Amino acid sequence: MKYKWVPRSVADAAFDGIEGVAAPVASVLARRGFNASEARAFMDSRWNNLSPWRSLPGAEEAATAVAAAIHAGEGILVHGDFDADGITAVATSVRVLRALGARVDWHIPCRFNEGYGIGETGVRKAIDEGFGLFMTVDCGISAVDPVLLLAEAGVKTVITDHHLPGSSVPAACATVDPELSDDAGAPWRRLSGAGVALAVLRGVAELLGSPDIPELEPDLCAIGTACDVVDLVGDNRLILRRGMEILRSLPSPGILALLRKAGLSSDRIRTRDLSFVIGPRLNSAGRVSHADLAVKLLLTVDTDEAQILAGELEGCNDRRRELDSGVFTEARKMAGEGPCVVLGSDSWHPGVLGIAASRLVDELSIPVVLVSFNGAEGRGSARSVDGVPIHGLLQEALQEGLLLRCGGHSVAAGLSVLREKFDAFRSFMMERTGAAGEGEVMKPLLYIDGRLLGTECNMQTMRGIRLLEPFGPGNPEPVWIARNAFLVTRDLVGRGKHLKMTFQIDGVTGNAIGFNMAKRSAEFDRPVDLAFLLREDSFRGSDSVQMELLDVRPSAGPGS
């Protein structure tokens, strides 16, 4: 078994069902803690159910400050981050503010010269070019000193962010960050950086009498939401569903050009395409060149310019893949035994460390920290597994004086470290992650949502599953178990890497695909339990389904 199979808890009070929804799908909602009325509300994903922008703490003060700056003719500098969430937050902000008549420009730091967050270059641009308002998106909650410098120069700051704050919050004229709230159940609690910015921009547009401008559509925001791995509940779920509608029906010239370069049709894109096709391409600009390229692509309304910029971005993505492969291969060879991997090199490209670290986590199922050194200082990326909050560990290391700075989320973070402190930092991480795992070999968890009988693997169940979309963190796609399955046919496909199979399950024949499972073929030579996602089978027609296998284990027998 690749995973440790963990059944989701049985609901305290399951409901009888929901009209028009397959019983197994209703059971999934019950297991995830919904009662009948909550389940119906969850599946009602209309855009007008988005929470009022004023409900987000600080949004009214922020929107008022931005609207006042536009009314007074003051220039606004939007400062963002160089990842997909930050890029889409910047593009959305510039697009909306321009539509509202603002004089606006943006600044995204160069990953290699400036690093993450608000640095001297962004501050100097705001001051030297006479901007009256400095608006952060997807960053700024830890920028205590930069905000102070801006204030001393007469520049007001509005912070919109969604990252964890440090020990103190900058003295901005308005600050919006869901992480400052104790309301864990609020629909805006898990917004992405782009989502927080959009809430403020909705307020600005309303205060200026233009609440329905098309620039407020969440097409770009949906990309940031999908790529930043935020929980797809509450407002995030509505933003992603509405954004996908716009991306499919009326994509911007830049998005359309990007999709064509990737060989995708806009009317058939899926949520996973945002995370695994569009997002990596946007990210690649900041990883190997400068994120401004991606922002320009998202903002252009000229189809010819869009084609040129999309071509340049595709070149960045090709280069990113090449660099990522090199770092991953070398780091994999260097990785030894232990509860985590902490490695550094003078030759690694800093722009692809996060991608390589994620790939290592997927393979090794332990936390990974990769650092690229340039002289006395190194910059790195950290990725983790469920149950080991990497951001908290890095914060501890920072307090111990082992790091220069750090920031991020529970499973993904960035850091800076002095070369002379690196060995001590590695020892610290080995000790802490070993304690977190209690000395056990960590195996990734696979949560099982319920059992599907062979007779339930059909389009009725598939239609019910669609009502739960979009899937992602906080709303994972249901993982099913089929017990005591007997292999009927087996073929190698995909140049011998994948297995195409049929099984006898509860007296019914079902189709299955096991991606990258060719080496596990022998495991199917006895009765097995299957863990799988239920998918439409496009090769057998629109009314057929198949199991996409995630893992397999020996069956304990018919009554297991």
What is the per-residue pLDDT for 444? 67
What is the per-residue pLDDT for 95? 98
Joined together, the tokens standing for residue 337 give 């035994």
Q: How many Cβ atoms sit within 10 Å of the Cβ of residue 167?
A: 8
Calpha distance 283→308 (Å, rounded)? 17
For the stretch 303-351, pLDDT in tens is 999 999 999 999 999 998 898 899 999 999 999 888 899 999 999 988 8
Closest CA to 161 of 81, 278, 68: 81
130 has pLDDT over 90: yes
What is the per-residue pLDDT for 106? 97
Calpha distance 328→171 (Å, rounded)? 41
What is the per-residue pLDDT for 439? 45
Calpha distance 102→340 (Å, rounded)? 49
> If you average pLDDT over residues 51-73, what whole number do you get?
97
Dmax over CA atoms of the chain, in Å, equals 76
Which range among 94-98, 411-415, 477-481, 513-517 shows the weakest confidence by mean pLDDT?
411-415
542 has pLDDT over 60: no
16 has pLDDT over 70: no
Q: What angle do CA 45, 49, 55 make, to 5 degrees?
A: 135
> If you average pLDDT over residues 261-277, what whole number do you get?
89
Q: Which domains does the chain have, with CATH numbers?
A: 4-9+446-554 (2.40.50.460), 52-250 (3.90.1640.30), 335-436 (3.10.310.30)
Calpha distance 118→162 (Å, rounded)? 15
Calpha distance 272→395 (Å, rounded)? 31
441 has pLDDT over 70: no
Q: What is the mean pLDDT of the chain?
A: 90
Provide the pLDDT confidence category of residue 160 given band limits of 50, 70 and 90. very high
* SS3 labels along 177-204: CHHHCCCCCCCCCCCCHHHHHHHHHHHH
DSSP string computed for 50-83: SPPGGGSTTHHHHHHHHHHHHHTT-EEEEE--SS
Calpha distance 530→533 (Å, rounded)? 10
540 has pLDDT over 70: no
Asked if 486 contacts 501 with a C-beta cutoff of 8 angstroms, the reply is no
Closest CA to 441 of 384, 364, 383: 364
Which range among 313-327, 355-369, 430-444, 447-461 shows the weakest confidence by mean pLDDT?
430-444
Joined together, the tokens standing for residue 192 give 């992405």
> If you average pLDDT over residues 182-198, what whole number do you get?
94
